[in-house]
Structure 1
Amino acid sequence: MTDTSPVDPTVDLLARAITQTSEVIAAVTPDQADQPTPCEDWTVRELVTHLIGQILRDFRIAARGDMPEWGAPPEQVGADWSAEFQTRARALLDQWRTADLERPVPSLGGEAPLRGRADQQIAEFATHTWDLARATGQDRTLDPELAEYGLAWSHRVLKPEFRGPGKAFGAEMPIAADAPVYDRLAAWFGRDPAWTPSA
């Protein structure tokens, strides 16, 4: 029997973010593995390993309502990046599709509905997809709704005290208010929107 229950809009948007990331990973060629990325000191290989071996693991734990050990080393990732990402991402989405998004879970400053963790994941996937597409010279139009959603969420929760040396996020980069949305997303998360592999 087919499951015809409606998909929560947040989970649907997360699925779109994952699909977009999957498409960008699939387009990376082996000779690009050691190229730099907008993520400081990370190569393409290290960024993909972060996405597959760390983010997908930690995000699945978060989707269960538990707290990941965010600083734990990434799991080992095989040579077929595209297949590995799709397999692990499918498990993450399966977790979200059966989750109670309104269940209170630990959050910064107390408790918040589980859905806030899905919001975070949309923002992270959108940002790292921009990183990877820019690093590998992929001339593609990224889904603007994902970036707008990620910006709206992160503007509410990313406080100044979370930025700076030794913190999870760098300083926001200056950018025009009418710049393309992915440039604004990159700048908000401390990237240089004008970054290129040759810079």
Structure 2
Amino acid sequence: MSEIAERYRRRAELFEQKVAAVGPDQWGNQSPCEKWSARDVVDHVVMMHGVMLMPVERTLEAADDPLTAFQQARTAVEAVLADPALSAQLVETPTGQMTVEDHIDQVVSDDLVLHGWDLARATGQDETMDPVDVERLWASTTKVPPDVMEKYRTPDAFGPGIEVFGAEVAVPEDAPLQDRLLGYIGRQP
């Protein structure tokens, strides 16, 4: 298993545990994402898994409940990551050409960490992110050039209804790195 596949598997397991822990009456809870409920967070993560599968001509089957939908999406992405020919294919992305494996790593795998926090906050679960993931995301996110970050912060820049990051939230410089990361991407830690 590649490092990227292992990272995705670990992150997907943690996200799936959060989805499984959501109570039936919590799906409508407001998430830290202004326009999304807890259910919308999971729907977004599943939808983005489908986007990652399109270049390799894979699709997701519809599922009524969020847990089943995520499990099916996870299984499909893990199958692509396990196939060296599929994961090595080059694809065009909004940030340039890269392999399917790298695209999955930089989009949905990272989303599992960030949106896992959103789901935890919305449903009263433990909001602690893996410190290794926090450090990795901080390093990659703060390296984004200012003009690209501005695009990430602009609603609809990548298509209707797509918002990558919100406006930066001021967080003290001596705050824990998780809080600084969350503030940087527009969340209120």
TM-score by length of 2: 0.79
Q: Secondary structure at the match of 1:159?
A: helix
Aligned partner of 1:163 in structure 2 is: 153
Bigger RCO of structures 1 and 2 (CA < 8 A, at least 6 apart): 1
Deviation string, structure 1 residues 36-63 (Cα, Å, up to 9, x no partner): 00011211122222223x122112235x
Contact 2:49 2:108 survives alignment (8 Å): no
Deviation at 1:14, TM superposition (A): 1.1
Deviation at 1:130, TM superposition (A): 0.3
Distance 1:97 1:178 in 2: 41
Counterparts in 2 of 1:13-24, with a 5 A limit?
Answer: 13-24=7-18
Q: Secondary structure at the match of 1:32?
A: coil
Aligned partner of 1:126 in structure 2 is: 113
Contact 2:31 2:38 survives alignment (8 Å): yes
Deviation at 1:30, TM superposition (A): 0.6
Aligned partner of 2:160 in structure 1 is: none
- Correspondent of 1:55 among 40, 48, 52: 48
Q: State the one-letter code of the partner of 1:29.
A: G
Tell me: CA distance 1:152–1:116, structure 2 relative to 1, closer, same or farther (3 Å). farther
Tell me how many residue pairs correspond in the alignment. 177
Contact 1:120 1:150 survives alignment (8 Å): no
Deviation at 1:174, TM superposition (A): 1.8
Q: Secondary structure at the match of 1:30?
A: coil
Aligned partner of 1:180 in structure 2 is: 176
Aligned partner of 1:116 in structure 2 is: 102
Deviation at 1:121, TM superposition (A): 2.3
Aligned partner of 2:77 in structure 1 is: 92
Distance 1:115 1:178 in 2: 35
Root-mean-square deviation (CA), in Å? 2.7
Q: State the one-letter code of the partner of 2:48.
A: I
Deviation at 1:98, TM superposition (A): 1.1
Question: What runs of 5+ residues in structure 2 fail to find an aligned partner?
Answer: 158-162
Contact 1:20 1:142 survives alignment (8 Å): no
- Correspondent of 1:135 among 122, 129, 132: 122
Deviation string, structure 1 residues 140-187 (Cα, Å, up to 9, x no partner): 643222222223223334522332344433222222344333323322
Aligned partner of 1:4 in structure 2 is: none
Question: What runs of 5+ residues in structure 1 fail to find an aligned partner?
Answer: 1-6, 69-73, 194-199
- Correspondent of 2:4 among 3, 10, 17: 10
Q: State the one-letter code of the partner of 2:77.
A: L
